[in-house]
Structure 1
C-alpha cells in the first residue's frame, strides 16, 4: 500500500501546486511575474510580423508601432519578447512558432552587449526558463539549445521537478520574502506590477513601460553609474554568437527578413559601454551580417545606441526607456524604417 499512498500524495501535492501557483506569483519580482503571465499569449496563424527580444523591446517597441510601420493590422503582429531574454530563448521561440505562422514575412529583434556576453542576465535567463519556460522538445533535440539549457542531467531533472511541482520554480522569490527586508517592503508594488503586466498581456500582448504602475518612471540624472562596471559586457559568449547565426539561418531559409535593433541604454551606461569597448562584440556581429548586399538582403541592422546620449528624461532606469522615451524612439524608428522601406539605403 505504501507505493500507492506515496503516489497519491505526490499527485495531490502536484495538483494543489498547479491550482494555487497563480496566488503566489504576484509576490514574485517583476521579471518572474512577466514570464509567468507571458504563457497566456496567443499566436495568430495569419500573422505577418514577429517581434522577439528582451525587456528593451517590451518597454521600447509596441505592437501598434510595428503594425503602423509594416502597414498591417495589430492582429497580424505576434509580440513575444520577455525580460532577460537571451539568444537561446529567441531561437527557441522562433522554432516553436515556425509552423504556426506560415504567412510570416518579417522578424524584429534587439541585440546588445547584454545578449552577446556572459553576464548575470545570462544566468537569470536560464533560471527563468527552468521556472517558467516551455518544456519544448527542441531544448533536447537542438544541439545549441541543449547546450544552453540542459548541459547535464541535473538541469534536465530540475526542469522536470519544477514542471511537476511548480512551487519549486518560485523558491528563490519566496525565500527572499522571508529573509530580505527590501523584498518585504516591495510586496505592495510587486502585486500592483503583476496587475499592470496582466493587463498589458490582455490588451497589448505584453508591451509595457518597465515598472509603470500609473506614473511614468524617471531616471535621476544624478544617479551614478559605477565607473567601468560595463566591463563585464565586453567579453564574447561564443554560444550566444552561434545561437544568433542559427537564428538568422533559420529565418533566411524560409525567406523571412530579420531586422536587428540596437535600442539605447541610458546616457551614463552608454558612455561607460563606449569606454570599456563593450560594444565591440555586437558591432562585429552587425558588420558581419551587414556584409550581404542588395535590395533583397535578408537582414537589416538599425543601430540607435547614440541617439539619447544626453536625454536622461527618456529613461525610467539605467536600461529601459520610459513613456516619453518610447514616444521619442517611435518617431526615430518610424523614420528609419520608412527610409529603409522606400530606399536601398544601408542600415544605420
Structure 2
C-alpha cells in the first residue's frame, strides 16, 4: 500500500513539474531560455538547407540570408543553432535530422577554438543538454555522443531524473536567485530577453542579435581582454576532433555538402587567439576535412581576420551585433555566391 502511494506521489509531482516548469524559464539566464524555447522549433521535412552551430551563428547570420544565398524559399532553410553548442550536440542534431530531411542538399556549421578545446563552454553544453536536450536513442546508442554526455551510469541516471522531474534541470539557475544579488537585479532584463528570444523563435527560427532587447549592443574598444585569456582554447580535446570527423563522414555518406564557417570574434580576442596559437587545432581540422574523399563535398570559409579593428561590429567579445551582422552579410554573401555558382571549394 505504501509503495502504491509513493508511486502515485511521484507521478503527481512529475506531472506538476511538467505543467509548471515553464513559469520559471523567464528567470533563467539567456542560454537556458534559448535552449528551452528552441524546443518549439518545427522541422520542415521539405528543407534543402540546414544550419547548425552555436550563438555565433544565432547572432551573426539569419535564416533569410541563407535562403537568399542558396536561392530557396525561407521555409526551406532549417535553422537549428543553439548557444554553447559543441560538436557532440551538432552530431546528435545531425543523427536526429538526417532521416527526416530527404531533400537536404547542404548543411552549414561554424567551427572555432571554442568547440575544439576543453573549456567552460564544453561543461555548459553538457548541463544544457541534461536540462533541455532530448533523451533520444541517438544520444545513448552512438558511442561518441554517449562518451561526451553519458560517460557513466550516474550521468545517464541524472538525465533521466531531470526528464521525469524537470525542476532539477533548473536548479543551477534558480538557486542563484535566492542568494546572488547580481542575479536578482538581472531578473527584469532576463524576462525581456525571454520575450525577445520567444519572438525570434516564432518569426525568425531563433535568429537573434545576442543580448539585444531593442537596442544594438556595441563593444567598446576600451573594454579589456586579459592577455593570454585564450590560452585555454589552445588545448586539443581529442573527442571534439573525432566528433567533427564523424559529422563530416555522416553528411558526406548521405550526399550532403558541408560548409564550415569560421565566424570572427572581437578584435582583441582574435589577436590574443593568434598570440596563443589557439587556432591550431581548428586549422588542422579544416585541413583534414578538405582532403580526399571529402574534397568535393566540403568547403571551408575562414573570416577570422575581417574585423580586426572594427569594435563597433560586436555586441561582446564573441558575438556580432546588428551592425556587424549587416557588414558580415555583405562579405559572406559574395564569398558564398561565388562558391555556390562555381566548382571551387573553400577559400
What TM-score range do you get, normalising by the shorter chain? over 0.9
1:51-72 deviation digits (Å, cap 9, x = unpaired): 0000001001110000000000
Distance 2:44 2:343 in 1: 31
Match of 2:322 in 1: 323
Deviations 1:19-62 (A, max 9, x none): 11110010000000000000000000110000000000100111
**What residue in structure 2 maps to residue 75 of structure 1?**
75
Asked if 1:89 corresponds to 2:89, the answer is: yes
Deviation at 1:148, TM superposition (A): 0.5
Partner in structure 2 of residue 187 of structure 1:
187
2:43–2:78 Cα contact (<8 Å) kept: yes
Equivalent in the alignment of 1:279: 279
Offset at residue 342 of structure 1 (A): 2.6
| Alignment gaps of 5+ in structure 1 | none
**Scaled by the length of structure 1, what TM-score is found?**
0.98
| 1:151 CA drift (Å) | 0.4
For 2:18 and 2:307, locate their aligned partners in 1 and report how far apart those are by CA, in whole Å. 44
5+ unaligned residues in a row in structure 2: which ranges? none
> Structure 2: how far apart are the matches of 1:292 and 1:213?
45
Match of 2:55?
55
Please say if residues 70 and 340 of structure 2, whose CA atoms lie closer than 8 Å, have aligned partners that are also in contact: no
CA distance in 2, matches of 1:157, 1:346: 44
What TM-score, normalized by structure 2, do the two folds share?
0.98
**Aligned-CA RMSD value:** 1.1
- For residues 293 and 342 of structure 1, do their structure 2 counterparts lie closer, same or farther at Cα, with a shift above 3 Å needed? farther
Partner Cα distance (1:185, 1:129) in 2: 27
Within 5 Å, which residues of 2 pair with 1:1-348? Answer: 1-292=1-292, 297-348=296-347
Output one character per residue of 1:315-343: Cα deviation in whole Å (capped at 9) or x when no partner: 00000000000011111110001111233
Distance of 1:24 and 1:345 partners within structure 2: 49
How far apart are residue 12 of structure 1 and its match?
0.8
Q: Size of the alignment, in residue pairs?
A: 347
Moved over 4 A (4+): none
Residue 347 of structure 1 deviates from its aligned partner by 1.6
Output the CA distance in 1 between the equivalents of 2:40 and 2:284: 36
